[in-house]
Amino acid sequence: MVAFIFQGTIKDNIIVLVVVNVRMKTATTKTTTTDVQPLVSKACAEVEGFEAMYRRLERRMHTQRRSDSTKQNYARHLAQIALHYHCLPTILSDDQIEDYLEGLILKGSPSESYFKHTVYGLRYLFRLEGLNDKRIQLPSIKHDKKLPIVLGRDEVKAMIKHADYLKHKLLVGLLYGCGLRCGEVRTIRLCDIDLSRGMLLVRKIKGNSDRYVPLGKLLVKGIEQHIESTGATDYLFTGLDYDSQYSQRGVQWVIKSLCQKAGIRKEVNTHTLRHTYATHLLEDGLDIVSIKELLGHAHIETTMIYLHIAKVGRKAPFCPLDKLYNVS
């Protein structure tokens, strides 16, 4: 069973490096002006005082140990608004800020999170600069109460089955089998994998602590085969260049393409496999506190959402229509 799920040869993995590099080069070379660094650099060059403000923001976020993704999101949105008005966001009037935020809504921003991160970035900046009055004037953000999408067990198996390459099978296996975030699976280092104990040390990218998660026999075997076939020496997964990290776009592309091959119609992303991991553990009888630790959640309330999804309780939920027609 182990060999079947994570079957792959050295030849297979050489092929995948060539094929995936060609596909991913197409995706990753499509850079736009909305990429983080070009925007920040442009704002530093064109908006007076932006560079000094950005350095203060960056230093504070470092000392508060904010994640790289949060730092990049805030920087991008602050650079956008600074370039829009050609001045620092801190000297804008309340009406100008209101007009800008309304413009995002009217023209339809790329996603709902775009608007939210603009507000969050401004709020963080105003707090940093001691502009509490401006911070209070910003609109409040209603937190999404949507339940996460979860895959069925057969759907997870279908994704692994439709992966043509060992690298992709292992990627899905780790996202689902260990409940990893996208940033965590991309940055797994060989020194953090304990094959003899079947444990993975997950380095913090969110929150304040590292955590250990069990790998299980299938993943241990898959990792051994992957290391042998690729000759990995530092990171488990690499990107276009042998010494570079696997890109976020690369991981997302793999998950999206496998869902299409498997005929899964749900809106699936890399985080869906993490939600599925937690839900299936809960359904299999693991207690909520243990799941919290495995996921690396800071607060139990975050983990409690899976109680609304998992089929657990005194009696598993059922459809009364089946009972009506005695369908078992």
CATH fold label, 2-28+148-308:
hpI Integrase; Chain A (1.10.443)
Q: Of the listed 116, 181, 186, 226, which one is catalytic?
A: 181
| pLDDT the model gives residue 313 | 67
Q: Which helix (H) or strand (E) holds 216?
A: helix 216-230
C-alpha 154/C-alpha 48 separation (Å) is: 56
First to last CA, the chain: 30
Active-site residue flag, 274: yes
Strands 193-194 and 211-214, how do they pair? unpaired
Tokens 């182990």, located at residue: 2
Dmax over CA atoms of the chain, in Å, equals 73
Cβ of 300: how many Cβ atoms within 10 Å?
11
Q: Is 134 helix (H, G, I), strand (E, B) or coil?
A: helix
Q: Along the 328 residues of the chain, how does pLDDT read in single tens digits? A: 444 566 654 445 444 444 444 444 444 333 333 456 888 999 999 999 999 999 999 999 888 878 788 888 899 999 999 999 999 999 999 889 999 888 888 876 556 778 888 889 999 999 999 888 777 778 777 766 788 999 999 999 999 999 999 999 999 999 999 999 999 999 999 999 999 999 999 988 766 689 999 999 999 999 999 999 999 989 999 876 555 778 889 999 999 999 999 999 999 999 999 999 999 999 999 999 999 999 999 889 889 999 888 887 666 667 776 777 687 6
Q: Of the listed 124, 246, 277, 306, which one is catalytic?
A: 306
Cβ of 293: how many Cβ atoms within 10 Å?
13
C-alpha 169/C-alpha 157 separation (Å) is: 10
Q: Which long-range contacts does 285-290 make (Cβ < 8 Å, 24+ apart)?
A: none
Q: Of the listed 274, 275, 280, 292, which one is catalytic?
A: 274
Active-site residue flag, 249: no
* CATH code assigned to 36-137: 1.10.150
Strands 199-202 and 193-194, how do they pair? antiparallel
| pLDDT the model gives residue 182 | 92
**pTM for the model:** 0.69
Please tell me the total number of residues recorded for the chain in this structure: 328
Ranges for all domains in the chain classified under CATH 1.10.150:
36-137
Q: Of the listed 206, 211, 212, 261, which one is catalytic?
A: 206
| pLDDT the model gives residue 10 | 41
